[in-house]
Amino acid sequence: MKDIRILLSGNPNVGKTTLFNALCGVHQHTGNYPGVTVDIKEGKRQINNHNIIVSDLPGTYSLSAFSPDEQVARDALLTSNPDSIVQIIDATNIERNLFLTTQLLEIGIPMVIALNMCDLADEQGISIDIECLEKCLKVPVVRIVAREGEGIDKLTDAIISVTEKKTACKHREIEYPHSITTHLSEIGDYLSSSASLLGNLSPKYAAIRLMEGDEHLEKMLHDNGLVIPFIDKCDPAERDGIAEDVLLARYRTAEEIMTCSVKCTMGRVMPADLIDQVLTHRIFGIPIFLSCMWFTFQLTFSASAPFAVAIELIFGYFTEAINSIEMNPFIRSFLADGIIGGIGSVLVFVPSIFIMFLLLSILEDTGYLARAAFVMDRFMHSMGLHGRSFIPFLMGFGCNVPAIMATRTLQSRADRIITIITIPFMSCAARLPVYVLFAGVFFGAVAGNVIFFLYILGIVVAIVTALAFRRFVFKGEPSPFIMELPPYRKPSGTAAGIHMWYKGREYLKRAGIVIFGGVLVVWALASLPAGVEYGSAESLAGSLGQLLQPMFTPLGFNWQLVVALIFGFIAKEVVVGSLGTLYGGEDILESSLAADPTLSPAIALTFMVFVLLYLPCVAALGVIKQEIGSLKWTAIAVGYGIITAYIVSFITLHLASFIMGA
């Protein structure tokens, strides 16, 4: 059995993941490159005596690497030394894709081109001369329809045959102007004496990258004490000029290949233009978007509700079963409250998260989400954020965890950090039970208005936070909004399903372990020292609450509220459950709260504001750490949340006392 390592490369939205799924089926796992949060998926396909190992790279337009996902793709292409590179090209838009081809050809690794969506190209009257394309590029080209699994066998045959050739591959060269080629050979000659520094890059290719302005490579060479001929003598303006000449040479080559091999036989109709004009309309765009999102959320919650109820029932049954067995009460509590309670609190979120991912990936597949980002960009821009931040914010009202994961599509690190820090202020579904309880007990008829006020307060705090961080920490503008709008396509159920499975599984893996661990810690705090009643004043949690209570005196919280806040760190809805335990049973909780002389409507409101703002739950915190990749920023996110919660709650208490007292 011979291993063949291939990299799947291509522009975004050309069907890379579909081809990957067609190639590898279910034999795949997600690998995560250290320090970077953009995934490279790996999978396998066995054919005859060959074991093809496929890595699916993030979609890129070029190898210049401006954003984290592009960097991952570039590093894999330039340093992992695969046996072959497979570029997927959208047959309906060849010219656009050939720019990347001109860069991949030069790497000098055997290449195969998979011409995808050939059925759509035929429908649109685009005729592609495959032989001519192969001759122009000196690379095998295979027609495929990844969605239907067509042409996959031919593709693997082509991959095996290019990797078995003994001779060095001779791809088409890019015709650079004379002014460039002389310098290229000068730099190339110089670099060949220090070829060991270049790793897998040939000196000639390294020279081209330097001319294109690869800062990474240039810095590496400078750090090793090299003085690069010509390049080091140019001023920045000259460098930009050269980089542009290289760019133009690539476009000229792409155009030449295009004109010889692609003929369009039909006049094009552009219904997409019309759809775009409606969906992104200056006035209608926003209401269309909001109703689309409203519908998505309604569907998420109504479709997941029966599953969540079922899960609760099943776990309730387990708990009962354990309670009916004769055993040591300490072990029983560990099994019932710790293990079963812990797994239950992880699983109860799973249906809504899976369904939300499913709906969002269907929306994304149709091409609409890119339009929505454009529609919201102006509004987000005025808040110091990027248009793409809007989707994560919206998801945050459901659950902060997938929302934080969704910030990966943001290219600039500053934009990502600001978005991640502000997401926890979006009042997630888990906080609602707390509001319902307190608003119901203390505000009666106006409870609905109070809850609405809390959602608005969260948004206001988020806006202020974003503006403040943009003004004082990440100075300057959010990165400019430039985005390709993918063609409208009919979403495929299987593709969306696979996507949902990946995302959902990732959530389970990451958040699940954290939530479960957190629940066990709280269980221990609530049941130790051995023999105390679960969650009582004598337990460790009770002692901790009483110890910390003085810090919350300015906010008017009694020790029970403080303990509930500590428990709320696991998941916000745990606040209600733990208050139930502390007040002697959930069935009498409402009357006990109403009768407690240390509480008042003002304090209840303050408590709800604090719950809204204070701290992301353990799961969200775990994901924040994962996505930001820095302990410092995670600490800042937590500290900022707690301080903000304290200050806003303090103001709330005094304003509320003043207004209600008057």
Binding site for other proteins (CB under 8 A): 61-62, 64, 66, 92-93, 95-96, 99, 213, 236-237, 240, 243-244, 247-248, 251, 270, 272-273, 276-277, 280-282, 285, 370-371, 373-375, 377-378, 381, 387, 477, 480-485, 487
Indicate the residue among 482 and 659 with the shorter CB distance to other proteins.
Answer: 482
The CB-of-66 to other proteins minimum distance in angstroms stands at 5
The distance of closest approach from Cβ of residue 484 to other proteins in the complex, given in angstroms and rounded to an integer, is 6
Question: Could you tell me the CA-to-CA distances from 632 to 36, 203, 297, 324, 515 in Å, in that order?
Answer: 16, 40, 34, 48, 22
Q: 52 or 262: whose CB is closer to other proteins?
A: 262
Report the alpha-carbon distance of residue 288 to residue 442 in Å, rounded: 38
Question: With b meaning 16 or more CB within 10 Å and e meaning fewer, what string describes 154-187?
Answer: ebbebbbebbeeeeeeebbebebeeebeebbeeb
Calpha distance 205→209 (Å, rounded):
6
Least distance CB 392 / other proteins (angstroms): 18
- Nearer to other proteins (CB atom), residue 170 or residue 268: 268
Nearer to other proteins, 256 or 590 (CB): 256
Q: Smallest distance, Å, CB 258 to other proteins?
A: 10
Beta carbon of residue 420, minimum distance to other proteins (angstroms, whole number): 21
Which residues are within 8 A (CB) of 625 and not within 5 positions of it... i.e. 6 or more apart? 631, 634
- What CA–CA distance (Å, rounded) separates 213 from 240? 8
531: exposed, middle or buried (C-beta count within 10 Å: 0-12, 13-18, 19+)?
Answer: exposed
Which residues fall within 8 angstroms of residue 163, CB to CB, at 6 or more apart? 4, 83, 84, 110
Amino acid at 555: L
Q: How far is the CB of 487 from other proteins (least distance, A)?
A: 7
Least separation in angstroms between residue 273's CB and other proteins is 5
**Which is nearer to other proteins, 274 or 528 (by Cβ)?**
274
Cα four-point dihedral sign 194, 197, 203, 209: negative
Is 26 or 283 the residue whose CB approaches other proteins more closely? 283
Q: How many Cβ atoms are within 10 Å of 458's Cβ, its own excluded?
A: 22
Query: Which is it for strands 39-47 and 262-264: parallel, antiparallel or unpaired?
Result: unpaired
For the bound state, the minimum distance from the C-beta of residue 473 to other proteins, rounded and expressed in Å, comes to: 20
- CA atoms of 50 and 523, how far apart (whole Å): 52
Spatial CB neighbours of 526, under 8 Å, sequence gap ≥ 6: 337, 534, 535, 539, 540, 541, 567, 578, 581
Q: Which is nearer to other proteins, 479 or 536 (CB)?
A: 479
Question: Any idea what DSSP says for residue 639?
Answer: H
Which CB, 161 or 277, lies closer to other proteins?
A: 277
Of residues 248 and 473, the one with the C-beta less far from other proteins: 248
CB of 172 to other proteins, least distance (A): 20
Q: How far apart are CA 398 and CA 388, in angstroms?
A: 18
